[in-house]
Each structure stands twice: as C-alpha cells, then as structure tokens.
Structure 1
Amino acid sequence: MTPEELNARLLYRDGLMLVVDKPAGIAVHRGPKGGDNLEAHFDALRFGLPRPPALAHRLDRDTSGCLVLGRHHKALEKLGKLFKQGHIDKIYWAIVEDGPAEHEGLIDLPLGRLDATRGWWMKVDPLGQPSQTRWKVLGRGTDAAGKAIAWLALEPLTGRTHQLRVHSAAMGWPIVGDPVYGSSGRGTGIGLQLHAREIVVPLYKNKPPVKIAAPAPAHMIERLKACGWVEEAIAPIVSEDVAD
C-alpha cells in the first residue's frame, strides 16, 4: 500500500485520533508468519508528529472498515481505557446466508476457544466467556445464484474474538464468505461480507462523541444492492484544532 493509498482511506483525523477505512484482506499488524500488514505503513500517517500512530484495537484480516489509531501514548492510553470499559459503540454490516425470520434481536451465547490446535478459532461454549450481539435486519434479497441473503447491522456488546462470525453461524445464518465458520470461504472470490461500518468514540469531555462511518467496500456492494442498499458519499472529517 502506497502512502497516497493509505491517506485516501483516512476517515477521521484530530489531535488524538485517526480512523482509517481498513481494506479487507490485509492484517492490521505483523503476525508470526510475517507478511504485509497495515501497521507497517503507518509512518505515512504521522502528519507532523515525531512517531507514527499505533493501533487502539484490532480488526480481523478479512474484515474491512473503521479502524481506530492513537496518535501518541496519551491518546492510546485514553482510547485503550474506553475500549476496555465498553464505552465505544461499534456497528458492523454483514451479509448473511438466509437470514433471521425476525426483524431484530439479541444473541446471548458464551464463547470459548475451539481447541488448542486451532489458534483463535472459537465456538459456542456454555463454560466460555459471556458474549452478546444485538442485531437488526436492514434488508433482504437474493444473490446472483438465487440464494436468500440478508443485510444485517450487528452491534457487539462484548468484544470476543470472532464474536460476530461465531454468533451468526450459531444462529443458522453464517456470514457469506466466511472461510472458517461459513459454508463458503477463501478461494471462492467472494470475500468475507463483514464491514466495520460505524464507530462512536466519546473521546472529549465537553464535546459530543466522535461518530465515523466507513463507506461500503467494493466486495460487498453487489449483495448490499441486492438487499436494497443505495450508494452514498462519505466525506472524511479532519479537525486538527482538537488537541486534547
């Protein structure tokens, strides 16, 4: 990724925080096997500061959308506390197979590690950590093959690994393109249909929360349109006057 390409994906910038529209298919940080990662390109996002920004949280390699970065140590400490205490609201868009019969609901299923040999793969586990996801149907349709799909807004109330993917699959409507928990995956050319659409960060005491939305990614547009989504324009927000 070139510095110009990364800058073009900047959704929000102020004195403490950046929000980047992460592309699907790239890890946010270097893994044990190496390879390209988004963090390796953060030097292009210094904007005059002596050090590059750093990750305030994580997104899966195949998930696109809002990724929050702290611009310095003080900012990272503040953001880290907000994420840990559950004060940051997140909405994801997902295209799922079939879809729920109801219009909205809450998934309350504890999650645990699948087994020691599967890394971060997860499963529903009565002895696992409490995990909750609120969901709402935004549209329904069929894909090019005539299969029923639904467009959901997913709000994770807890932050477990792969939570949205495991919860969706456990409900009988896995996320389209999920190579681990779905019925179609890597190699199909579909791509995981999961997008971190919106994030709301209460970063400043005397100001309203910062609300940022990421545009729909190219690999999801076909199915989003099939479910009734209408294209939109999202302009980046730059507010350099906010410093602390």
Structure 2
Amino acid sequence: MLEDRVLFIDGEAMVIDKPAGLAVHPGSKTPESLEDYLHHFRFGFRRLPLPVHRLDRDTSGCLLLARNPKAHKRFQRAFEEKKVEKSYVAVLDGVPEREEGQIDLPLGKVSTREEGWRIVHDVKGKPALTRWRTIAVKDGRAVLLFTPTTGRTHQLRVHAAEGLGLPISGDPIYGAGRGPMLLHALSLKMEREGKTPVEATAPLPPTFVNAGFGDVLG
C-alpha cells in the first residue's frame, strides 16, 4: 500500500518513501508512474498532492509533495534557492582512494539516435556540486553518503562514475547494470517560516538489505 509509505504529513506538505522502479512522472518508457497513484494520498483533501521535485525511477526514498498550488510554488522556490537539505546513500562498484571529498563537475546532456540521452561531464554545462563521505566498506564496495548542493538530472550517478571513477552498483546507464541500482534518497529537510520544518528519513529499502548492506547506517 503506497499510502503506508508516508514519512511526514501536515496541511501543506507530505514526504513519501518512493519505491524503486516507479517513475515520478510518465514518459515514453515509463507509462506507469506515481501520478497514477496520487489519489491514494489525498487524505481528505479534494486536490491531488503534487510532486515538488523528482527522483529517478530506480532511486528510492524521500520525495516531497505539496498539498496545494501555493505551497507547491513556495517549495519549488526553496529547491531553486538551495534551501532544501538532502542526503543520499549509495553503494559503489569499488572503494574511493579517499574517505571523503567534494565533486565539482558541470554537467550537460547528450543524445544519439542509437543510445538515447545521457548526462556527461561538460565544462560548458550547468554547475553541479556534490559532497561525499564513506560510511562503510564491505566486500570490496564502499557505501557513500552524498549531500548534493545542486540538483541536476543524474547528478549523483554521473559524479560517482566520472568524478570518482566508480559507478553506483546496478546503474544501468553509467555502470555495469548488474542487479538493482543501489541509490536511496535517505533524508530531506526544508525549513519553513513560522512553521516546523518539513523533515523525514526513509529506511533503507529491501534492495540494500538483500545486497548485504542493510546495517550500514548503524
């Protein structure tokens, strides 16, 4: 039941734990999406809640929804002004040489008829900044905590693959694609004037547990 995945809710905001495999918006390759299930999240309201940002289809975890149009605009502005704190946990196909650092790689989009589109490092692209630190190492793979400053499409996936030289395990585009992609939106926090912050943490999903990383957060 998707409605059981609500992590935070009040009169204007909701954070849900989006499952991996479900796109936020429909597309040519994702006819089924969260939009098909938003009616489950009305909880007495006439309006459907609206996603404020997006997570990749294969990324699980914290997704912010707005429960009215005014809140949606205000929350989107908070994202644009970098006032939303987000953290992600990911398993990499290897172990970085350092234990922590910062990846500053601008990103751009390329597209070919044969392979479709993807994101690449582009010196003339949009600025993209990610801080990271290693929180565990197991069986030759590192578990990283990512705290992105910007929110570019596929930012963490490309920063892992090109910035660290180690793709996220299971990444079907920038890595080997073996097994499910182990990238999870762990937490989200957004301050609000005159109100308590929107704040939520999503438990590690079964994909991490089944891969042997269910205990990495302590």
Shorter-chain TM band: over 0.9
- Look up the match of 1:161: 153
- Look up the match of 2:190: 201
**Residue ranges of structure 2 left out of the alignment (5+ in a row):** none
CA contact (8 A) 2:157 2:174 kept: yes
Q: Superposition pairs for residues 49-68 of structure 1, below 5 Å? A: 49-68=45-64
Q: Give the TM-score taking structure 2 as reference length.
A: 0.93
SS of 1:150's equivalent in the other structure is strand
1:40-99 deviations in Å (ceiling 9; x for gaps): 111111111111101111110000000110001111011111011111011000000112
Aligned residues: 215
CA contact (8 A) 2:23 2:30 kept: no
Larger-Rg structure: 1
- Look up the match of 1:240: none
**Residue ranges of structure 1 left out of the alignment (5+ in a row):** 143-147, 231-244
Amino acid at match of 2:146: L
Structure 1 pair 33–192 and aligned structure 2 pair: CA distance change class (3 A)? closer
CA contact (8 A) 2:13 2:198 kept: no
Shift of 1:211: 2.0
Q: Give the TM-score taking structure 1 as reference length.
A: 0.83
Which of structure 1's runs of 4+ aligned residues deviate more than 3 A?
116-120, 227-230
Q: Which has the higher contact order (CA 8 A, sep 6+)?
A: 1
Q: Identity over aligned residues, as a percent?
A: 42
CA distance in 1: counterparts of 2:212 and 2:123, whole angstroms: 34
CA distance in 2: counterparts of 1:38 and 1:166, whole angstroms: 24
* C-alpha RMSD over aligned residues: 1.6
Answer 1 or 2: which has greater strand percent: 2
CA distance in 2: counterparts of 1:33 and 1:182, whole angstroms: 20
2:124 to 124, 127, 134: 127
- Look up the match of 1:218: 206
SS of 1:7's equivalent in the other structure is helix
